[in-house]
Copies of this chain bind each other. A is one copy, B any other.
Amino acid sequence: MALKGDEVAKHADAKSCWVIVHGKAYDVTEFLPEHPGGQKIILKYAGKDATEEFDPIHPPDTLEKYLDKSKHLGPVDMGTVAQEAKEEDPEEEARQERIAQKPLLEQCYNLHDFEAVARRIMKKTAWGYYSSAADDEITMRENHSAFHRIWFRPQVLVDVEKVDFSTTMLGTKTSLPIYVTATALGKLGNPEGEVVLTRAAHTHNIIQMIPTLASCSFDEIVDARQGDQVQWLQLYVNKDREITRNIVQHAEKRGCRGLFITVDAPQLGRREKDMRSKFTDPGTKVQAGLTTDTSQGAARAISSFIDPGLSWADIPWFRSITKMPIILKGVQRVEDVLKAIEVGVQGVVLSNHGGRQLDFARSGIEILAETMPILRERGLDRRIEIFIDGGVRRATDVIKALCLGATGVGIGRPFLYAMSAYGQPGVERAMQLLKDEMEMNMRLIGCTSIDQLHAGLVDTRSLFQHTNSTPADHLSTTVYDPLAVPVQRPKSKL
């Protein structure tokens, strides 16, 4: 017999805390202190239906996996659960209006356009999570800016009637030298989550990297795979290595074809835009200084299991537990690329985690331009596959990376934005736009296949120049009180 709403509602504090998720009640009283996101957020829903808040942050199998069966209290008669009178929310009303006036998908002509639309129509907190980055977000923006310091030296009068930009990554043939890189919490942007990306990737024959911190469960994402579609696994290494072993071996069994171990996130970043977007004003009655809001944004909440002790010494163990190629994701200097070759992994991703971790980390493309000449000098450039991600918005960005020696290029946020703005058709159009640009620009640079791209086609002399005007230092500029010239005097009152 289903529980009644008023019964659940009695368990509404830390002493006895029940919550409803997807029509079932759970007793989370004992779990409260262990909740990675803190007690506060659960207590907000104590005695109530928490589904809407729960969903984007937790894969559906979370309660099964982590809450003892004895705490599963069974179904609730949802008709008896008191509907919370939704407060009027002028911000939400304005958002709904913006959604109603959303541009047509056909009006999006490039990857930036999806970001513009997503920013208008996403919930503030979801936008805050996706769009935020570390500290002053200098690195996040530098990632794209860096491409603007590389210029082309195209060759002309080459027969470019037939252009083929398919390529091979980690042994997999793919239609484009890009892949969908791992990004967390897909359901913040779309109620279906990461499977939307899976389906769009299939449409365009593009590889998808499955994130550890997906909103969908790993198996849901694998189940969404079609035909001979290829997926990789992105891994945050758990302090408990048995859990990690299970994840890796399960992924291999389910057909994943590459293991991308994240090495740039021993702790997940402070992202102030995210934190600010989550701040809830306790109202005007509370006196300043009395409340303590320890919220650190979504990233911290979901990542407490990550092992900051992961080190080079762990790599042989990974090689021992899987036959998947191993790629280190987040390498940031040539010295560590050389070490990666030494320890025998198959690849590295030169990446700063989309600017979400260490601000003033350099862009992947700059590290690439530093790395490849040294590898070539030592005859090591064929020993490893080098990927980069971060800031890619145009096919020209992809081509620049490939000219400089990358095997492939990861794209993350743009697909999230396309999904948030237009769902699967949005992601598919984003991929199609990249293909259109790719075909055009391969022709214009005078190459008909990926292997013809080489460093002589780009001018990188300015890449390493970081004058500090771009990306702009917004906070410091905002708080600076600029010098003024003398003001006019008041009018005489006579």
Contacts and interface: CB of A to CB of B under 8 A. Distances in A.
Interface of A: 98, 100-110, 112-113, 115-117, 119-120, 127, 131, 135-138, 141, 144-146, 148-161, 263-264, 266-267, 269-270, 272-273, 275-276, 279, 281-282, 284-286, 288-289, 291-293, 307-312, 314-315, 328, 330-333, 335-336, 339, 357-362, 393-394, 396, 400, 422, 425, 436-437, 439-441, 443-445, 459, 461-462, 464-470, 472-476, 478-494
Contacts of A487: 103, 107
Contacts of A292: 106
Contact of A362 (B119, B153, B484, B486): B153
A281 B491 contact: no
B156 A332 contact: yes
Contacts of A154: 264, 332-333, 358, 361
Given A112-B479, A160-B308, A293-B106, A362 B489 contact: no
Nearest to A108: B486
A291 to B, nearest CB: 6
A284 B135 contact: no
Given A117-B486, A310-B157, A488-B102, A467 B469 contact: yes
A110 to B, nearest CB: 6
A116 B486 contact: yes
Contact of A483 (B273, B358, B422): B273
A92 to B, nearest CB: 17
Contact of A288 (B102, B135, B152): B102
Interface centre among A104, A269, A332, A494 (most CB of B within 10 A): A104
B110 A135 contact: yes
A309 B479 contact: no
A289 B492 contact: no
Contact of A103 (B286, B309, B486): B486
B491 A101 contact: yes
Closest 10 CB pairs of A and B: A116-B485, A103-B486, A358-B444, A148-B468, A112-B475, A462-B466, A107-B486, A284-B492, A101-B488, A156-B263
A292 to B, nearest CB: 7
Contact of A469 (B284, B288, B441, B470): B470
